[in-house]
């Protein structure tokens, strides 16, 4: 298999000469021959005159710009086929770079595992059968309609109108464009589905849960290029060098140009650590203790930005007297339900409902004093005991963090799934949010809490409301109890908690009514509460963990997985497999072969299922990939970037909108002709000829414009001046109305496609200062690039750091390098504070009622913990609000049987379970491996490249062993803890070596706030396998 690498000796050379002695000898002596006269020439440049199309990488949330080159010059008679992809040098983030995934996109587009025509797997069958599109569409529509009609719940037990359908569900993609996402939402909700989720559930849902209650919005506060402005780059709970390599460009830039210190705290010495100044290993699942230790250190040493903390955080606000925390429990805990009554988790109010305030922050119930008390337990000794981080190392890192309390220093905090994948994931993120507020780093260039989102459009899918209990624009789907629109709006529209605040969520009715007008068009009237009843109402969350548990119990009949591979992506693969086996039908919409689509196929030990007993009908529908569509995806910095198709989908593959459109139009035809359960929910959805030129195949541009929104009538401002004509695209969400005169699918996207055109396609990369490029693409909200940027200045508008001045007051308005995240004409000295999405106007050290598990973070052990109890409180070991289903509880192991801590992650060569289909990437990491330290390897007699077996209570995998100095033994709570790293990329499909799905091992339990699974800390056993292959 290897090429020859020859070291020829003299006699060998003679032997070669023997073969062609005369000519070789002659030429070797410099005699001219015809052969030797072949002109030296470089390879012809292969891109000349080929068609160049701009797009964005489909993998991660950096959203790198790419140039796709296809055969032909665009002539009609040439069928374009992409043959080369490289980076777009104009792109402000990627500047021409692509990581190994992006550089290998070509082999994903042309993977031999692309699906080319619709297929059907009959109950009990062991093979796929090719079918036609018409047949597939008709049968799927019939199955969906019959199941909906049989199981639709119009009213609940209490007689409340709920209009929901629970027995079928849908998983939406995370790499599809926003425009497909809008159709996903309309598709699922028009059928009354609550079992709707997207990849955000498995990745960054805790980010929204944590950052929204802290700052007002649940998104990355700054953007990729802004990282270059930092003095300190703190990487914890993430590994951007591997997961976001091109975004990491700006970390290196900070390091080189800004002399920034880069600190990595992680269970594993990873590639980010390889270029960091400081690396400290930490026990997986103990980050909250580390962070609360840092908070304690900052408060004790006074290394906080005092002016900022006093003015822009809730530190001076006074909390109710009945709030308490004792032995691991906050006030209001109900042991029966495992939930908190959050009544006491708020401020003491005056008669007007405003929070009481002590500017000196010395009141014993001021947030600052309560915080001091709360973190007092997290001494460096305790931090070491829980986390394994040596005290000296901890103090060294805390000191560097503390140095950024200076007004002219900023720290950027980068994290990703290393934090979200825990039962206390959202609270870990809260820890970083609190530290950054204490340091005065929110709103600052080079500061922020930067959630590095995962998939290329998972930010968009989160914005679009594709989660069980969400609707677009970060509003919640109404519950059973919210039976009227008035009640829903009353309960979801916050009132200001301090005088003079912007409290932008007070506009909730405008956002909601405009959404209803978008969804239900002429069927949404003032008289019917804007079709409020047609939105399904929820009684409980039907997130993925919950929904697959119902499936496991046989309570789900049908499921659609679009661009999603839950068998590989969900925890506890063996349970997922059994759950899927209980479905009556499964519809796969995907460009590629997935393990999920073949879950019924016996792959020997890798997928040992009784094929003939699995009665699930499976339809596999081939869809387009990113390179074959127009549309927008949203990167982690909230940039909506428009991309263009470079070729048509292969074979019979169809665009996602057409796949959904054909099925939806067939369902509608059936409801029109046959009637059925609540037909108006289906038929009143705006998916018709009034909405789209062809509802069977809506064009992306049509959905993009409806996301932005239109004036449905002439619209006037408060003074009676007309600001919009009927039919006009909206300029800004400030124009939205709650009287039915405007429609917008997603209020945060308003401004993205205006009468001036598609703002998402903007390509002016001019740097307006500090790396801001507002002319490139369009960022929500309102094209702001650094959220909360008003907080970069004091109340009078003086920048905390003149070198980091983003905005200034020009006498009439705020202006500068970025769009102000503040009312543009509200002058310096106004009472309004910078956190305009929070009713207090200030950042929250105390999260008020925003979290389910407490207003301050607290360390709880992972559900599977390697130590005997919780060193802080013996009686409350785990997060008391964790939801653990009975079936999952039985599948949890103990430290006696499974002594090692395991954590799963991605390595840079591969992207989740997608790139194993790309030959270029499969070559780079061909096979499942695990990483173990030298001590554990020695104890177990394991050497480099040995095959090992990793076991949890839920199952096992085999893998190759990478024995490394980069995994270290830690001392935790008086015992040695060994950690094992398990990359999660391979499976039984793809061009890589066939193997197990690593998520066979991970546990089915989620973050208390968002139900995102605890992939990052669980217990395993390890043994060497003799003579076996992985």
Q: Which of 152, 224, 248, 885 binds other proteins (CB under 8 A)?
A: 248
Cα of 448 vs its chain's centroid, Å: 18
The least CB distance from residue 408 to other proteins, in Å, is 20
> What b/e string do you get for 611-638 counting C-beta neighbours within 10 Å, with b at 16 or more?
beebebbbbbbbbbbbbbbbbbbbbbbb
Question: Could you tell me which stretch among 178-186, 191-199, 219-227, 250-258 binds other proteins (CB under 8 A)?
Answer: 250-258
Q: Which is nearer to other proteins, 83 or 956 (CB)?
A: 83
Looking only at residues 136 through 195 of this chain, which bind other proteins when binding is defined by CB under 8 A? none
The least CB distance from residue 810 to other proteins, in Å, is 36
Q: Which is nearer to other proteins, 242 or 989 (CB)?
A: 242
Q: Which is nearer to other proteins, 428 or 967 (CB)?
A: 967
Indicate the burial class of 124 (C-beta count within 10 angstroms; 0-12, 13-18, 19 or more): middle
Looking only at residues 527 through 556 of this chain, which bind other proteins when binding is defined by CB under 8 A? none
Looking only at residues 212 through 241 of this chain, which bind other proteins when binding is defined by CB under 8 A? 241
* Residue 802 binds to other proteins (criterion: CB under 8 A): no
Report angle CA 302, 306, 308 to the nearest 5 degrees.
Answer: 140
The least CB distance from residue 665 to other proteins, in Å, is 40
The least CB distance from residue 109 to other proteins, in Å, is 12
Centre a 10 Å sphere on the Cβ of residue 349 and count the other Cβ atoms it contains: 13
Q: Which of 454, 457, 472, 451 is nearest to 760 (CA)?
A: 457
> What b/e string do you get for 960-983 counting C-beta neighbours within 10 Å, with b at 16 or more?
bbbbbebbbbbebbeeebbbbbbb
Looking only at residues 987 through 1026 of this chain, which bind other proteins when binding is defined by CB under 8 A? 991-993
- Strand pairing category for 947-952 and 929-933: unpaired
Q: Which of 390, 926, 935, 1024 binds other proteins (CB under 8 A)?
A: 926
Q: What is the DSSP string of 447-512?
A: -SEEE--SBTTHHHHHHTT-STTEETTTEEPPBTT--SHHHHHHHHS---SSTT---GGGGHHHHH
Q: Which is nearer to other proteins, 245 or 695 (CB)?
A: 245
Please say whether the beta carbons of 412 and 250 come within 8 A: no
Q: Which of 920, 935, 956, 1021 binds other proteins (CB under 8 A)?
A: 920
Q: Which of 9, 302, 720, 941 binds other proteins (CB under 8 A)?
A: 9
The least CB distance from residue 413 to other proteins, in Å, is 19
* Residue 971 binds to other proteins (criterion: CB under 8 A): no
The least CB distance from residue 69 to other proteins, in Å, is 11
- Strand pairing category for 232-236 and 411-415: parallel
Sign of dihedral through CA atoms 81, 84, 85, 90? negative
| Dist CA 316 CA 368 (whole Å) | 7
Looking only at residues 101 through 120 of this chain, which bind other proteins when binding is defined by CB under 8 A? 102-104, 106-107
Centre a 10 Å sphere on the Cβ of residue 609 and count the other Cβ atoms it contains: 18
Residues 6+ apart with CB under 8 A from 624: 591, 649, 653, 654, 655, 656
The least CB distance from residue 454 to other proteins, in Å, is 17
Please say whether the beta carbons of 505 and 733 come within 8 A: no
Q: What are 983's strand-pairing partners?
A: 905
| Dist CA 232 CA 235 (whole Å) | 10
Question: Could you tell me which stretch among 210-218, 695-703, 774-782, 964-972 binds other proteins (CB under 8 A)?
Answer: 964-972
The least CB distance from residue 82 to other proteins, in Å, is 11
Total residues at interface with other proteins (CB under 8 A): 105
Looking only at residues 485 through 514 of this chain, which bind other proteins when binding is defined by CB under 8 A? none
Q: Which of 200, 298, 515, 922 binds other proteins (CB under 8 A)?
A: 922
The least CB distance from residue 968 to other proteins, in Å, is 9
Residue located via tokens 């703002």: 759
Residue 748: C-alpha distances to residues 618, 768, 773, 781, 833 (Å): 37, 23, 19, 5, 21
Report angle CA 720, 722, 724 to the nearest 5 degrees.
Answer: 140
The least CB distance from residue 635 to other proteins, in Å, is 15
Q: Which of 392, 430, 418, 420 is nearest to 278 (CA)?
A: 392
Q: Which is nearer to other proteins, 406 or 962 (CB)?
A: 962
Please say whether the beta carbons of 722 and 716 come within 8 A: yes
The least CB distance from residue 925 to other proteins, in Å, is 6
Q: Which of 924, 956, 1021, 1024 binds other proteins (CB under 8 A)?
A: 924
Looking only at residues 276 through 295 of this chain, which bind other proteins when binding is defined by CB under 8 A? 277, 279
Looking only at residues 928 through 957 of this chain, which bind other proteins when binding is defined by CB under 8 A? 928-929, 943-946
The least CB distance from residue 89 to other proteins, in Å, is 8
The least CB distance from residue 4 to other proteins, in Å, is 4
- Strand pairing category for 196-198 and 168-172: parallel
Cα of 151 vs its chain's centroid, Å: 32
| Dist CA 898 CA 919 (whole Å) | 36
Please say whether the beta carbons of 530 and 725 come within 8 A: no
The least CB distance from residue 20 to other proteins, in Å, is 8
Q: Which is nearer to other proteins, 600 or 929 (CB)?
A: 929
| Dist CA 91 CA 777 (whole Å) | 10
Q: Which is nearer to other proteins, 778 or 929 (CB)?
A: 929
Binding marks (x or -) toward other proteins, 61..100, rule CB under 8 A? -----------------------xxxx-x------xxxxx
* Residue 668 binds to other proteins (criterion: CB under 8 A): no
Looking only at residues 24 through 53 of this chain, which bind other proteins when binding is defined by CB under 8 A? 24-33, 35-46, 48
* Residue 719 binds to other proteins (criterion: CB under 8 A): no
Q: Which of 258, 339, 830, 964 binds other proteins (CB under 8 A)?
A: 964
Question: Could you tell me which stretch among 23-31, 73-81, 287-295, 551-559 binds other proteins (CB under 8 A)?
Answer: 23-31
The least CB distance from residue 571 to other proteins, in Å, is 24
Cα of 896 vs its chain's centroid, Å: 35
Q: Which of 78, 112, 129, 274 binds other proteins (CB under 8 A)?
A: 274
End-to-end CA distance of the chain: 20
Looking only at residues 417 through 436 of this chain, which bind other proteins when binding is defined by CB under 8 A? none
Token readout for 1015 is 């992939």
Question: Could you tell me which stretch among 74-82, 128-136, 704-712, 918-926 binds other proteins (CB under 8 A)?
Answer: 918-926
Please say whether the beta carbons of 142 and 671 come within 8 A: no
Q: Which of 629, 909, 989, 1014 binds other proteins (CB under 8 A)?
A: 909
Binding marks (x or -) toward other proteins, 254..273, rule CB under 8 A? -xx--x---------x-xxx
Q: Which is nearer to other proteins, 48 or 796 (CB)?
A: 48
The least CB distance from residue 991 to other proteins, in Å, is 6
């Amino acid at each position: 298999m290897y090429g020859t690498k020859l070291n020829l000796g003299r006699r060998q050379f003679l032997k070669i000469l023997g073969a062609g002695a005369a000519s070789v000898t002659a030429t070797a002596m410099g005699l001219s021959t015809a052969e030797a006269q072949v002109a030296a020439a470089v390879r012809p440049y292969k891109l000349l005159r080929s068609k160049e199309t701009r797009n964005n990488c489909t993998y991660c949330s950096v959203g790198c710009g790419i140039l796709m080159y296809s055969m032909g010059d665009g002539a009609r008679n040439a069928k374009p086929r992409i043959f080369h992809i490289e980076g777009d040098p104009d792109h402000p983030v990627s500047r021409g770079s692509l990581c190994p995934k992006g550089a290998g996109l070509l082999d994903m587009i042309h993977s031999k595992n692309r699906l080319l025509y619709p297929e059907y797997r009959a109950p009990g069958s062991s093979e796929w059968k090719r079918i036609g599109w018409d047949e597939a569409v008709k049968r799927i529509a019939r199955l969906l309609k019959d199941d909906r009609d049989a199981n639709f719940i119009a009213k609940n037990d209490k007689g409340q109108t709920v209009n929901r359908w629970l027995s079928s569900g849908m998983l939406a993609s995370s790499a599809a464009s926003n425009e497909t996402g809008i159709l996903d939402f309309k598709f699922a909700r028009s059928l009354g589905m609550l079992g709707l989720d997207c990849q955000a559930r498995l990745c960054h849902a805790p980010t929204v849960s944590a950052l929204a209650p802290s700052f007002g919005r649940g998104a990355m506060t700054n953007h990729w290029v802004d990282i270059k402005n930092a003095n300190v780059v703190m990487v914890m709970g993430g590994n951007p060098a591997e997961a976001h390599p091109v975004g990491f460009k700006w970390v290196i830039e900070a390091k080189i140009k800004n002399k920034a210190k880069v600190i990595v705290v992680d269970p594993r010495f990873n590639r980010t650590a390889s270029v960091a100044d400081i690396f400290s290993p930490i026990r997986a699942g103990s980050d909250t203790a580390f962070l609360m230790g840092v908070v304690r250190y900052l408060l004790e040493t006074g290394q906080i930005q005092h002016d900022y903390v006093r003015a822009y955080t809730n530190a001076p606000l006074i909390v109710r007297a009945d709030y308490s925390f004792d032995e691991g429990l906050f006030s209001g805990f109900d042991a029966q339900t495992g939930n908190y009554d959050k009544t006491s988790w708020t401020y003491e109010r005056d008669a007007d409902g405003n929070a009481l305030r002590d500017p000196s922050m010395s009141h014993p119930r001021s947030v600052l004093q309560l915080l001091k008390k709360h973190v007092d337990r997290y001494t460096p000794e305790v931090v070491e005991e829980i986390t394994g981080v040596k005290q000296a190392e901890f103090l060294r890192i805390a000191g560097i963090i503390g140095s950024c309390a200076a007004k002219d220093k900023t720290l950027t905090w980068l994290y990703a799934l290393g934090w979200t994948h825990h039962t206390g994931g959202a609270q870990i993120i809260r820890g970083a949010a609190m530290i950054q507020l204490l340091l005065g780093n929110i709103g600052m260039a080079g500061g922020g809490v930067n959630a590095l989102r995962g998939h290329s459009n998972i930010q968009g899918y989160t914005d679009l409301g594709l989660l069980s209990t969400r609707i677009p624009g970060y509003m919640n789907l109404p519950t059973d109890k919210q039976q009227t629109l008035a009640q829903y709006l009353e309960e979801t529209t916050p009132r200001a908690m301090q005088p003079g605040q912007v409290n932008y969520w007070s506009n909730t009715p405008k956002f909601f009514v405009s959404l209803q007008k978008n969804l239900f068009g002429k069927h949404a009237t003032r008289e019917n509460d804007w079709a409020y009843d047609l939105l399904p109402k929820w009684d409980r969350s039907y997130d993925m963990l919950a929904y697959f548990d119902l499936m496991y119990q046989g309570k789900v009949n049908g499921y659609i997985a679009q661009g999603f591979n839950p068998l590989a992506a969900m925890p506890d693969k063996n349970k997922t497999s059994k759950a899927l086996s209980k479905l009556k039908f499964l519809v796969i919409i995907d460009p590629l072969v997935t393990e999920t689509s073949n879950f019924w196929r016996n792959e020997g030990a890798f997928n040992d299922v009784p094929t003939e007993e699995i009665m699930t009908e499976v339809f596999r529908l081939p869809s387009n990939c990113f390179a074959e569509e127009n549309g927008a995806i949203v990167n982690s910095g909230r940039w909506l970037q428009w991309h263009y198709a470079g070729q048509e989908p292969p074979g019979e593959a169809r665009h996602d909108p057409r796949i959904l459109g054909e099925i939806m139009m067939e369902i509608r035809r059936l409801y029109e002709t046959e009637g059925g359960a609540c037909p108006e929910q289906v038929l009143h959805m705006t998916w018709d000829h009034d909405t789209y030129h062809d509802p069977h195949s809506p064009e992306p541009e049509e959905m993009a414009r409806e996301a932005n929104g239109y004036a449905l009538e002439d619209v006037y401002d408060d003074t009676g001046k007309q600001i919009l004509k009927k039919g006009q695209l909206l300029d800004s969400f400030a124009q939205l109305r709650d009287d039915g005169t405007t429609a917008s699918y997603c209020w945060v996207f308003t401004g993205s496609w205006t009468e001036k055109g598609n703002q998402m396609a903007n390509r002016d990369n001019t740097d307006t200062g500090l790396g801001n490029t507002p002319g490139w693409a369009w960022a929500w909200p309102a094209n702001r690039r650094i959220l909360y940027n008003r907080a970069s200045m004091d109340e009078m508008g003086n920048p905390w750091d003149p070198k980091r001045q983003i905005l200034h007051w020009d006498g009439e308005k705020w202006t500068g390098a970025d769009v102000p995240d503040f009312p543009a004409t509200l002058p310096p000295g106004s009472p309004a504070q910078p956190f305009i999405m929070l009713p207090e106007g200030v950042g929250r050290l105390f999260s008020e009622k925003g979290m389910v598990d407490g207003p301050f973070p607290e360390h709880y052990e992972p559900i599977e913990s390697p130590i005997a109890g919780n060193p802080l409180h013996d009686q409350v070991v785990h997060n008391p609000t964790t939801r653990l289903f009975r079936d999952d509880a039985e599948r949890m192991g103990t430290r006696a049987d499974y002594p090692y801590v395991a954590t799963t992650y991605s390595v840079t060569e591969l992207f989740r379970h997608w790139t194993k289909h790309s030959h270029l990437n499969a070559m780079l990491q061909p096979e499942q491996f695990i990483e173990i330290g030298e001590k554990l390897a020695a104890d177990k007699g394991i050497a480099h490249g040995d095959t090992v077996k990793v076991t949890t209570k839920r199952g096992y995998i085999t893998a190759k062993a990478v024995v490394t100095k980069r995994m270290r033994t830690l001392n935790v709570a008086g015992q040695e803890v060994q950690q094992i790293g398990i990359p999660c990329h391979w499976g039984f499909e793809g061009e890589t070596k066939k193997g197990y799905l690593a998520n066979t091992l991970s546990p089915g339990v989620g973050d208390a706030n968002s139900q995102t699974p605890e992939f990052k800390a669980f217990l395993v056993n390890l043994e060497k396998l003799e003579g076996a292959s992985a």
